[in-house]
Structures are given as structure tokens and as C-alpha cells.
Structure 1
Amino acid sequence: MVYLKTDEEIELLRESNLLVGKTLGEVAKAVKPGVTTLDLDKIAEEFIRDHKGVPGFLNYQGFPNSLCTSVNEHVVHGIPNKTPLKEGDIVSIDCGVLLNGFFGDSAYTFEVGQVNPEVKALLEATKASLYAGIEAAVEGNRIGDIGYAVQNYCESRGYSVVREMVGHGVGRQLHEAPEVPNYGRKGNGVKLRKGMVIAIEPMINLGKRQIILEDDQWTIRTVDRSVSAHFEHTIAVGKSKSDILSSFKFVEEVLTLQS
């Protein structure tokens, strides 16, 4: 069942998603060699609670932390730990917030110090593919149009698209219908309607697309151990263009100051 949101509900969803964006901005200040992902998790949890939110991932189906922190070959759902990040790593940070009864959900992949140019190019392409998917998320199109846009952008550049992990509806639940794959055929799948709120989240690998579940029963990694990037926005489907409810502005302000 796909729930269409009212304009008022979309404004509440915007507030929760903006808090996610601000949290990622706060975390961005601390991403550097020597910092642990557990350190980043503590920063995020404190910031969310200080702003009257509740960490959306903490205890969700038993997940033990507030952030998913996935380093290098880890695709998604990495559990924060005490291993220091090192120069040249990348870390995908996925954050969820519950505020005013609605969830926010967004992810950004960070460079730790100076990364290999090949890896930097993967991050840029993954982020660009997210916006290609968002452009297709308008009323009258279908879910397959979003997946096609992401897939076409990435595969034409030699990258591979993770197929088993998908985007999703967002609302009073963190994961709602419909599923939003990052691959697909134009004109296929659920029809998009104004008022649908969905998270679009390309997970793109430098190597092959196959993934495996680690022993912790959460962390997903690439089978060939190639690095993987992940960017995510929550958007409201509109009549002629979609409305991006989450924001990378706070992250990118920090990264600009650091560069």
C-alpha cells in the first residue's frame, strides 16, 4: 500500500529530513584520518537528540547504532566500530531521524583525506546518478524510470549497480512501499503520483555488482572487495519536478571550508 502524503505531512517530512542533513553536516566536521566510526555515531546521536529528534536507525530491527557507517568495500548497513579511519578511505554515512512522527533518511559518502582519483570519480558519478534518478521522479513516470536513469548513468561509465538493496517509501515508517530499485526499464513498475515520498539511494560499485552479507548479519560488502559508494535523498514526487526534502547543503558547506 503506497501512502500519498498531504502538503502538511510533506512539510513535517521536510523538517525531519533537514535534521538528517544538519546531522550529516555536523558529522562531516569530524571525518578525518584517526577518527573512528563509533566517534561519528556519538556525534550524530547527541546532535539528533539535542534537536528534539530520535535516531531513526537505533534499535531498528535490532540495529545497535544511530548511523550506518560503511567503509570502502562495505556497501551499506555497516555497524560503527573502534577502527580508526585512515587516509584514502571512503565512508558512506547513512542517517535516519524520527521527528514529529515522521522519518528522515539520507546518506553521503565521504572521502577521508586524499583518495585515489579513480575512487573520487566513482563518488562523483554515484552522486550525479542520484540526481539523474531524482529528475525522473515526476508524476506520470514509473519506478522503472528512476532505476533506468541511475543504471544508465553508472553503467555507461563502467560502474556496476547493486541490485539487491533498494530505495523505499518514507513516512510515518522508515521503510514504506514502494521499493525503488537502482536499475530498471523505462515505463515499468509502480506509477509515480504527486504526494509519494520516496528515498532514492544509488549504491554503486567500482568492480562487480555482487554483494555478500558479513558475519555480523548487518554489513553488506562487495564480493570482489571493490569499493562502493552510496548517496541518498528523500524526495516528494511532484507534477513537473520532484521536491528534495533532505539536503547535502550542510555537508558541502563543511567540505568547502575544509578544502
Structure 2
Amino acid sequence: MTDQPPMKRACKGVDCPNDAGDLQCPTCQKLGFKGSFFCSQDCFKKNWADHKKIHKGSSTTTSSSSLFSFLRSIFPPFAVSYPDPETGFFNPWPTFNYTGPLRPVYPLSASRKIPNSIPHPDYAADGIPKKGRTFARTNKPELLDAKSIQGMRKVCRLAREVLDIAAAAIKPGITTDYLDEVVHEACVERKSYPSPLNYNHFPKSVCTSVNEVICHGIPDNRLLLNGDILNIDVTLYHEGFHGDLNETYYVGEKAKADPDTVRVVETARECLNQAIAVVKPGVLIREFGNIIEKHAKSQNCSVIRTYCGHGINSVFHPPPNVPHYAKNKAVGECKPGMTFTIEPMIALGKYRDVTWPDNWTSTTIDGKKTAQFEHTLLVTEDGCEILTARTADSPGGPIPRLELKEEASQS
């Protein structure tokens, strides 16, 4: 048996091409975080500002092992598996207790750039939204004038175009990172900023949520498989307004042949349509959740409660909050000129959720599939206008239900 050379470690310095030596971050050592090796002291110092973010939620001022154990039960330890020598890809959190079969495939590509000639929202530079964050009238939705309504119609039409372009590109064997590129370029072509990019430091231009991912999935290098379902959540910022929509799509014919997969996707679609059907002046915001949960339960599905619909206009997420579950305590009623989203997230199993260590990707607690649909709506004098409505050429759309399985959903 011959001696094998030691496995090389990648330096944790951003874009550093060197192999790491034995120099490890001392704070990571104290906290039990693995894999934080650097090639040199200078490289460690240079990357400290970014690297120290992984210590968030941990204390370096106490030696209490019980405190460390408590914190680590909330914030999983940072651990990096070594890149596959053939592909260079890896799972960044190999010790994380994933709830289903899906795994992230890193490294992520760099965040894509937007030309300076395209107007940027206020958070584009530092990741911190500012507009609309005030202590005054925090629950009072804005009622738009005629000019602002026209602005919302335009951005929502563009957002629909971008989503349809991305949806047309879906097929087994492509990556969600490729779809991020498709969305990004389509936004730039329309002189629009992709609203998710650097919103609270989200690293990509679109959210792509596969199978058990409820929402906020980060595009990466995992290949889409025949049998997957994929939600694409697109938001554009154009001429001062945001337009937001999403749909869940079947990846390949295998997905359309599974009764449970079809059940959760079509139930989510129907839940949104039934809620939209009652939108008109005077309807209470909390009523949408009653409608959505009633239909979801009738189809043996559950409603995710952590995330809700929201107001949208010149601000990405202003009032009102729009919960999707029954007997919620949402404040307010529909009034002409309001623009908001309804975006129910429906699961085959339990409604509770777990977030990956990236602090974005939210999955079902039991790893079962989940689907979501979203429209931006304008309340009119006698009903509502679906600003992000599908067109005759929009990819996707409903398919016939298949025979349901007998297995009961747990909620």
C-alpha cells in the first residue's frame, strides 16, 4: 500500500486560487466550525470582513459550552465538503439535517451586474431596503393615483414577459443558475432591475424553488431532473415600481404522471384563482386565507403559514400583509387603488418549515413537495385587475387531475 498525498484544502479567501495551509480561523476553532482554512495570514486579514459573517449568532466572549451548544442548535455549524475533483461542485453544509432529498450544489456563480443606466432600487448598493420603512401608519396601504396605476400595469406586463421567457427555457438537464442568467438578461433587455438582487443581501436575480423548497430558493448548479417541479418567482423594478408574480412548472413528463405532484401543483393554482375571484372593495384581507385553506384541505393539502402575500408598488413589500391560512388576524379591507399580491404556498404534508443555513431557502419540515402561484392585483371600483395575468402564449398552465393516492396528508 503506497502513501497517498494529503487532500488539498481550498483557501476560504474569496476568489483565492491558492490551496489552504494549516492556518485556520481561531474563532471558528472555538465554535467548532470546520473547514475555515486560509493560505496565509495576509489572505485571512484581507477576507476577515466577509468571513466573520459566519460567526453570526455565536459568542466569542464566553467559554460556556452550554451556551455554544444552545447556539449551535439554532445556527448549524459552518462546514464545507471538498469539491468533487471532476466537477468542482460541492454541498456547502454536509452536516445539515436536510428534510428531503434536495441538496444545494455550490459554488454559486457571482451575482450578476446591472448597468448603471438602469434605475436601481434603494437597496441595490448595500442590500438594505429603506423606502417605506417608517413607524408612522405602518398598517395603512397606499392607494395609487392614475399615473402610478399605469406604472404598475407596465412593470407587471414586463414581469410577465420575463417569467414566460424563463418558463419556456425549463427542461431536464439545465441548472437553476442558467435560469437566473435568463431572467437577468431579460430584465436588462427591458431596462429593468430584478428586484430580488441584493434585497436584504439575496445573491441572485430570481428565486427558484424546487420540490420541497417552499420559497426563496437560491439558483445554483443542481441539474433539474425529469419529475421535479420548479417555482420561478420573478419581480421587476421598472420606472419606480415593482411587479411580482410566480408560477410552479412541471419539469419533464414524469412530473405530470405522478398523482400527488399534480395534486399539489393544481391545488395551489386553484387556491390562488379562488381567492382572486372574491377580491373587490370592502372584502376583508383576512378572508382570502379562509378561502385558500378550505380548498387546500378539501384536496388533502396544507397551507404554509410562515410566508404571506403583501402590498407592492414603489416599495417591494409594503402593507398589507396577506396571510393564506384560515382564521388569521390580518388587518384591513380591499379599497380601490390598492395593489397587493396573493401567493399561496401549498404542501402535500405538514405546513411547518425549515430554513437552510443560507438563511433564505425554506423547505417543508417533512421534505414533501410544495407548490406556489402568485399574481399582483389592482383593486378596482367593482372588482380587481390581475396585473400579471397569463397571456395566450404563456408556458405552463393547468393540466387534468390524476387519480389521487389514498395516503392522507398530515398537517
Band of TM-score, shorter chain:
over 0.9
**Contact kept? 2:322, 2:330, Cα under 8 Å:** no
Deviations 1:169-212 (A, max 9, x none): 00111101010000234996312111110010000001111111
Letter in structure 2 aligned against 1:104? G
After superposing the two structures, state which structure 1 stretch, 126-135 or 114-123, moved more: 114-123
Deviations 1:129-178 (A, max 9, x none): 10111122210110111111111111121110001100000011110101
Question: Comparing both structures, which one devotes a greater share of its residues to helix?
Answer: 1
Q: Secondary structure at the match of 1:254?
A: coil
The residue that corresponds to 1:189 in the other structure is 331
Paired-residue identity, %: 35
Change (3 A) 1:204 1:164: same
The residue that corresponds to 1:173 in the other structure is 315
Q: Secondary structure at the match of 1:139?
A: coil
The residue that corresponds to 1:63 in the other structure is 202
CA distance in structure 2 between the partners assigned to 1:187 and 1:223 by the alignment:
24
The residue that corresponds to 1:129 in the other structure is 271
After superposing the two structures, state which structure 1 stretch, 87-96 or 147-156, moved more: 147-156
**Contact kept? 1:74, 1:219, Cα under 8 Å:** yes
The residue that corresponds to 1:78 in the other structure is 217
**Contact kept? 2:323, 2:330, Cα under 8 Å:** no
Using the TM superposition, give the Cα deviation of residue 82 of structure 1 relative to its aligned residue in structure 2, in angstroms: 0.4
The residue that corresponds to 2:389 in the other structure is 247
Letter in structure 2 aligned against 1:169? G
CA distance in structure 2 between the partners assigned to 1:229 and 1:245 by the alignment:
21
**1:33 pairs with one of 165, 168, 172:** 172
CA distance in structure 2 between the partners assigned to 1:239 and 1:155 by the alignment:
32
The residue that corresponds to 1:226 in the other structure is 368
**Contact kept? 1:38, 1:80, Cα under 8 Å:** yes
CA distance in structure 2 between the partners assigned to 1:104 and 1:139 by the alignment:
21
**Contact kept? 2:309, 2:340, Cα under 8 Å:** yes
**1:112 pairs with one of 246, 251, 256:** 251
Using the TM superposition, give the Cα deviation of residue 247 of structure 1 relative to its aligned residue in structure 2, in angstroms: 2.4
- Number of aligned residue pairs: 255
Change (3 A) 1:101 1:188: closer
**Contact kept? 1:194, 1:238, Cα under 8 Å:** yes
- The question of 1:45 aligning with 2:184 is answered yes
CA distance in structure 1 between the partners assigned to 2:157 and 2:213 by the alignment:
26
The residue that corresponds to 1:214 in the other structure is 356
Deviations 1:12-44 (A, max 9, x none): 111111111111110111101001000000000
CA distance in structure 2 between the partners assigned to 1:6 and 1:146 by the alignment:
25
- The question of 1:99 aligning with 2:238 is answered yes
Deviations 1:69-92 (A, max 9, x none): 010000000000000000000011
Instruction: Tell which structure's C-alpha radius of gyration is larger.
Output: 2
Instruction: Name the structure, 1 or 2, with higher relative contact order (CA <8 Å, separation 6+).
Output: 1
Q: Secondary structure at the match of 1:137?
A: coil
**Contact kept? 1:166, 1:181, Cα under 8 Å:** yes
- The question of 1:149 aligning with 2:291 is answered yes
- The question of 1:15 aligning with 2:154 is answered yes
RMSD: 1.6
**Contact kept? 1:233, 1:245, Cα under 8 Å:** yes
Q: TM-score, normalised by structure 2?
A: 0.60
Using the TM superposition, give the Cα deviation of residue 248 of structure 1 relative to its aligned residue in structure 2, in angstroms: 2.5
CA distance in structure 2 between the partners assigned to 1:221 and 1:186 by the alignment:
22
- The question of 1:54 aligning with 2:196 is answered no
Q: TM-score, normalised by structure 1?
A: 0.94
For structure 2, list consecutive stretches of 5 or more residues without a partner in the other structure: 1-139, 398-411
Letter in structure 2 aligned against 1:103? H
After superposing the two structures, state which structure 1 stretch, 128-137 or 80-89, moved more: 128-137
Question: Comparing both structures, which one devotes a greater share of its residues to strand?
Answer: 1
Q: Secondary structure at the match of 1:198?
A: strand
